[in-house]
């Protein structure tokens, strides 16, 4: 059994999210089983170009449709951006450990994201909203560089209108129509009403943001082992063989991408790791 062999998937929908961010909805063309946990990722393969790890945004529904939101930044992602409905790609996964949805049951959840870090965290939100009775209060904090970078505005509005959900948005650079905070996402922590001992935090975004957020949340009383973060590194195999995604003694693809903070705390923010 060749663990590297992709399966074929068809693009069933392509959605433009922002000038450089798009969503592909993919359907596996075979009948083999597929299931994933929120926070896991797939390797997406563009014919003749290569593979790239992309987190799975949404729960697979009965139609076996998988949603991936991607920023066009490199060779493969720029190629994926050019795909249209009906095009075929390769897909293998899911890989890695997802978010601690079990451990979060019965607790309040704080989600802190930055930039496209919102994509891997949407699966947490979907999961909580689908199993609402299992979780306490949900706080969603999302930071972006520029207000134009905020995708899924309507979704945030919809979540904000739900009971027991709070949405707080921040942009480093504001615009006249911006109703959120202007500045860093960490400034939003002052607006949170936390019960630290019954709260679990899940962070996803630039490392410097997660580094600062984890420190601040811990200062506010959230135990270190109740803070989780999703790391990002160069990944070429997804199964701990290629060596690119190493952080200390962890392979991000195999031991992560979601880590409990103490696992990576020592090296978080150390330049060159």
Partner 1 sequence: MNDSLFLPRDALQTLIEQLKSDGFRVIGPCVHDDTIQYRDLADSATLPFGWTDDQAPGNYRLTQVDSPRAFAWATGAQALKPYLFKPRETLWRAQRDAAGKLTFSSEQIEDQPLAFIGVRACDIAALKLHDKHFLDGVKDSNYAARRAGLFIVAVHCAYPADTCFCASTGDGPAAADGFDLALNELEDGYLVEVGSERGKAIAARLPLAAASSDLQHQGAQAVAEAAKRQHRQLPSGNLQKPLFERLHHPRWDQVAARCLSCGNCTSVCPTCFCNAQIDAPALGGEVTEHLREWDSCFTEGHSYLHGFMVRPETGHRYRQWLTHKLGSWHEQYGRSGCVGCGRCITWCPVGIDLTEEANVLCNSAAGESPQ
Which residue, 15 or 270, is less far from partner 1 as judged by CB? Answer: 270
Asked if 270 interacts with partner 1 (CB under 8 A), we say: yes
What string marks each residue from 236 to 255 as x (binds partner 1 by CB under 8 A) or -?
xx-xxxxxx-x-xx-x--x-
If you search the block for the tokens 């919102």, which residue do you land on? 118
Pick the binder of partner 1 from 62, 102, 179, 271 (CB under 8 A). Answer: 271
Pick the binder of partner 1 from 17, 59, 87, 215 (CB under 8 A). Answer: 87
Q: How far is the CB of 8 from partner 1 (least distance, A)?
A: 5
Task: Classify strands 50-55 and 41-46 as parallel, antiparallel or unpaired.
Answer: antiparallel
CB 66 within 8 A of CB 58: yes
Asked if 86 interacts with partner 1 (CB under 8 A), we say: yes
**Dist CA 234 CA 238 (whole Å):** 10
Which residue, 179 or 271, is less far from partner 1 as judged by CB? Answer: 271
Asked if 19 interacts with partner 1 (CB under 8 A), we say: no
**Dist CA 26 CA 11 (whole Å):** 5
Asked if 81 interacts with partner 1 (CB under 8 A), we say: no
Asked if 12 interacts with partner 1 (CB under 8 A), we say: no
If you search the block for the tokens 């399966």, which residue do you land on? 7
Q: How far is CA 61 from the centre of its chain?
A: 19
Query: Number of C-alpha atoms within 13 angstroms, CB side, residue 42?
Result: 29
Instruction: Report the side by side order of strands in the sheet with 50-55.
Output: 50-55, 41-46, 88-95, 7-18, 21-28, 65-71
Could you say which residues in the range 109-128 bind partner 1, by CB under 8 A? none
Asked if 14 interacts with partner 1 (CB under 8 A), we say: no
By CB under 8 A, name the binding residues for partner 1. Answer: 1-8, 45, 47-51, 71, 73-74, 77, 86-90, 232-234, 236-237, 239-244, 246, 248-249, 251, 254, 266, 270-273
């Amino acid at each position: 059994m060749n663990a590297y062999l992709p399966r074929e998937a068809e693009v069933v929908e392509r959605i433009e999210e922002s000038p450089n961010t798009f969503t592909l909805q993919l359907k596996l063309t075979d009948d083999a089983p597929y299931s994933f946990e929120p926070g896991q990722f797939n390797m997406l393969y563009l014919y003749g170009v290569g593979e790239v790890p992309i987190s799975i945004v949404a729960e697979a529904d009965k139609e076996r449709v998988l949603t991936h939101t991607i920023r066009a930044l490199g060779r493969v992602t720029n190629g994926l951006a050019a795909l249209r409905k009906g095009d075929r790609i390769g897909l293998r996964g899911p890989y890695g450990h997802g978010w601690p949805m079990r451990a979060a049951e019965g607790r309040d959840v704080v989600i802190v994201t930055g930039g496209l870090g919102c994509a891997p965290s949407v699966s947490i939100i979907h999961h909580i909203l689908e199993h609402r009775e299992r979780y306490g209060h949900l706080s969603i904090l999302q930071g972006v560089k520029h207000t134009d970078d905020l995708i899924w505005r309507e979704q945030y509005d919809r979540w904000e209108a739900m009971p027991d959900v709070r949405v707080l948005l921040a942009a480093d650079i504001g615009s006249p129509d911006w109703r959120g905070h202007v500045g860093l996402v960490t400034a939003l922590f002052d607006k949170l009403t936390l019960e630290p001992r019954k709260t679990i935090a899940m962070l996803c975004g630039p490392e410097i943001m997660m580094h600062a957020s984890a420190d601040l949340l811990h200062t506010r009383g959230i135990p270190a082992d109740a803070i989780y973060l999703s790391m990002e590194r160069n990944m070429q195999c997804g199964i701990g063989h290629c060596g690119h995604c190493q952080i200390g003694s962890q392979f991000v693809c195999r031991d992560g991408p979601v880590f409990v903070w103490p696992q990576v705390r020592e090296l978080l923010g150390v330049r060159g790791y």
